Amino acid sequence: MDTLNILLVGVGGQGTILASKLMSQVAIDADYDVKMSEIKGMSQRGGSVVTQVRIGDSISSPTIDKGEADFIAAFELLEGYRWAEYLKPNGKIFISNQVIEPMPVIMGIAQYPNEVIQTLDNLGVAVKSINALEMAMECGTPKAANVVLMGYLAKQLPIEKSIWEKALEKIIPSRFLELNKLAFEKGYQC
């Protein structure tokens, strides 16, 4: 398999790191090499969070450069917009339509971009908007929005669904498992 570069972007507290661990577990179980890179620290305090997952036969660099991501899973609308330039020309970005306003927008000194999905679409970027928050709520908690997006990603990758389901069992604590399996399925079907 050619190396797959996947970027997960969101806001501190949205579960990007858990989603990255899930994806990394899938890669291991599918017998691939994997590297995952996360930037945290200041970003724990409501900042922009990005994690990078690279899956393939043999991975060297732990990071993904601009224009090199096969997939971007964005947990928040503005973050998807911010990181879109990391997408490969034939890559695909899918964005949860959740909005979390950053402080400069709250203060009224910056503008939250209008029509994010439409703007990206007009640029010829392969973009899909996903109602992840709503779907997660239907499963019982807004926190499962990350797993909804992973369900959607799973459908795009050349890795069997059963491997994802086993990885969910390994990564998600048992009391949240059923709920997250449901969220995963919703993402997979959309």
Q: Which residues bind another protein (CB under 8 A)?
A: 11-12, 21, 24-25, 28, 33-48, 59-63, 65-68, 78-79, 81-82, 84-89, 101-114, 119, 123, 125, 142
Is residue 75 within 8 Å of residue 96, measured between CB atoms? yes
Closer Cβ to another protein, 22 or 157, answer by number: 22
Nearest to 48 by CA among 19, 1, 80: 80
- At residue 5, what is the residue type? N
Closest CA to 72 of 164, 163, 4, 167: 4
The H helix count followed by the E strand count for the chain is 8, 6
- Shortest Cβ 189–another protein spacing (Å): 26
* DSSP-derived 3-state class of residue 102: coil
Which H or E element spans position 74? strand 69-74
Residues 55/71, Cβ–Cβ less than 8 Å: no
The nearest distance, CB 85 to another protein, in angstroms, is: 4
Residue closer to another protein, measured from CB, 43 or 190: 43
Compute the least distance from the CB of residue 87 to another protein, in Å: 7
Choose between 121 and 165: whose C-beta lies nearer to another protein. Answer: 121
Report the nearest approach of another protein to the CB of residue 54 (Å): 10
Residue number, 35 or 186, with CB nearest to another protein: 35
